[in-house]
Structure 1
Amino acid sequence: MALASLACLALAGPTVAAEASRAPYGVTKTGEAVEAITLKNDRGMTVRILTLGGIIDEVRTPDRHGRLANVIVGLPDLKAYEANGSFNSIVGRFANRIAGGGFTLDGATYKLPSNPKGIAMHGGPHGFGSRIWQARPFSGHGRAGVTLSYRSADGENGYPGALDVSVTYTLDDKNALRLDYEAKTDKPTIVNLTNHSYFNLAGDAARDVYDHRLQIFADRYTPTDESQIPTGEFASVAGTPFDLRQPARIRDRVASAHPQMLLARGFDQNFVVRKQPGDPLPLAARLEDPDSGRVMEIRTTQPGVQVYTANGFNGSQLGSGGGALRQGYGVAFETEHYPDSPNKPQFPSTVLRPGQVFRESTVFSFPTPVRPAARHASAGGQP
Structure 2
Amino acid sequence: MNYSKRSMGELNGAEVTEYTFTNNNGMSFSSMNYGCIITKIIVPDREGNKENVVLGFETLEEYRENKGPYLGAIVGRVAGRIRGGQFELNGKEYRLNTNTPPNHLHGGNVGWSEVVFESAIVEEDDSIGIRYTYHSPDGEEGYPGNFEITVDYLLTNENELVLTYHGKTDQETPVTVTNHSYFNLSGNNKRDITEHELIADIDRYLELGEGFIPTGKMVHTENTPFDFAEGKLLKEGINNNYEQNRIVGDGYDHPLIFSEGGSHSAILRDKESGREMSLITNQPAVVLYTGNQLEDHYRFNGVSSRKYLGVCLETQGLPDAINHPEFPSVVLKPEETYHAETKLKFRVTE
Please tell me the TM-score bracket, short chain as reference: over 0.9
Aligned to 1:380: none
Distance 1:359 1:84 in 2: 30
Larger mean CA deviation between 344-353 and 132-141 belongs to 132-141
State the match for 1:24 in structure 2: 7
The Cα of 1:116 is off from its aligned counterpart by 5.2
Does the 8 A contact of 1:37 with 1:137 survive in 2? no
SS where residue 6 of structure 2 aligns?
strand
Taking the aligned partners of 1:20 and 1:162, their CA distance within structure 2 comes to 33
- C-alpha displacement at 1:354, in angstroms? 1.1
Instruction: Report deviation, 1:217.
Output: 1.5
Aligned partner of 1:254 in structure 2 is 238
1:302 — aligned with what? Answer: 283
Most deviating of 110-119 and 341-350:
110-119
Identity, in percent, stands at 35
The answer (yes or no) to whether the contact 1:42–1:142 under 8 Å persists in 2 is no
Q: Secondary structure at the match of 1:69?
A: strand
Give the gaps of 5 or more residues in structure 2: none
Q: Distance in 1 between matches of 2:295 and 2:64?
A: 18
Aligned counterparts, 1:55-94, within 5 A: 55-85=37-67, 86-94=70-78
Q: Decide whether aligned partners of structure 1 residues 132 and 116 sit closer, same or farther in structure 2, where only a CA change above 3 A counts.
A: closer
TM-score (structure 2 length as normaliser): 0.96
Q: Which string of whole-angstrom CA distances, capped at 9 and with x for unpartnered residues, describes residues 252-279 of structure 1? A: 22111111100012110100012446xx
Normalising by structure 1, report the TM-score: 0.88
Aligned to 2:332: 352
Q: What does residue 4 of structure 1 align with? A: none
Report Cα offsets for 1:45-102 as digits up to 9, x if no partner: 0010100000000000011111110001111211111123322100000100000111
Q: Partners in 1 of 2:225 and 2:184 — Cα distance? A: 21
The answer to whether structure 1 residue 134 and structure 2 residue 124 are counterparts is no
8 Å CA contact retained: 1:114, 1:124: yes
Letter in 2 for 1:62: P
RMSD across aligned C-alpha pairs, in angstroms? 1.3
Kindly indicate whether residue 230 of structure 2 is the aligned counterpart of residue 271 of structure 1: no
1:177 matched to which residue of 2?
Answer: 161
| Alpha-carbon distance between aligned partners in 1 of 2:324 and 2:194, rounded to the nearest angstrom | 33
Note if contact 1:296-1:366 (Cα within 8 Å) is conserved in structure 2. Answer: yes
C-alpha deviation, 1:140, in angstroms: 3.6
- Check the 8 A contact 1:20/1:146 in 2, yes or no: no
Distance across 1 between alignment mates of 2:266 and 2:54 = 17
**Native 8 Å contact 2:55 2:71 kept in 1:** no
Task: Tell me, in whole angstroms, the C-alpha distance in 1 between the residues paired with 2:107 and 2:15.
Answer: 23
**Residue type of the alignment partner of 1:49:** S
Q: Distance in 1 between matches of 2:261 and 2:326?
A: 21
Q: How far apart, CA to CA, are the structure 2 residues paired with 1:200 and 1:116?
A: 27
For 1:326, give the aligned amino acid: R
SS in 2 for 1:227: helix
Secondary structure of 1:223's aligned partner: strand
The residue number in structure 2 matching 1:324 is: 304
Q: Does 1:47 align with 2:32?
A: no
**Offset from partner CA, 1:148-189 (integer Å, 9 cap, x none):** 000001101000111000011111011010011000011111
Residues 39 and 46 in structure 1, CA contact (< 8 A), matched pair in contact too: yes
Quick check: 1:119 aligned with 2:99? no
- Write out aligned runs for 1:186-201 (5 A): 186-201=170-185
Once the two structures are TM-superposed, the CA of residue 31 in structure 1 deviates from its matched residue by 4.2
CA separation in 2, counterparts of 1:31 and 1:308?
35
Please say if 1:162 is aligned against 2:161.
no
Paired AA for residue 315 in structure 1 = D
Question: 1:186-212 CA deviation, whole Å, 9 max, x = no partner?
Answer: 111111100000000011112211011
Aligned position for 1:291: 272
Match of 1:343 among 305, 323, 336: 323
* Cα distance change of structure 1 residues 110 and 359 upon mapping to structure 2, 3 Å threshold: same
Q: Secondary structure at the match of 1:342?
A: helix
Aligned pair in 2 of structure 1 residues 43, 325: CA closer, same or farther (>3 Å)?
same
Whole-Å Cα distance in 2 between the matches of residues 275 and 23 of structure 1?
44
8 Å Cα contact 2:45-2:273 kept in structure 1: yes
| 2:71 partner SS | coil
Decide which structure has greater strand share.
2
Aligned length: 347
Q: What CA distance in whole angstroms lies between the structure 2 residues aligned with 1:195 and 1:84?
A: 17
Report what 2:343 is aligned to: 363
Alignment partner, residue 83 of structure 2? 99
- Equivalent in the alignment of 2:136: 152
Q: 1:363 and 1:140 mapped to 2: Cα distance? A: 17
CA offsets 1:318-376 (integer angstroms, 9 cap, x no match)? 112x111100000000000011000000111111111210001001110224x7xxxxx
Shift in Å at residue 283 of structure 1? 4.1
Q: 2:215 aligns with which of 231, 239, 253?
A: 231
Could you tell me whether the CA contact under 8 Å between 1:161 and 1:186 is conserved in 2? Answer: yes
Residue identity in the other structure for 1:336? Q
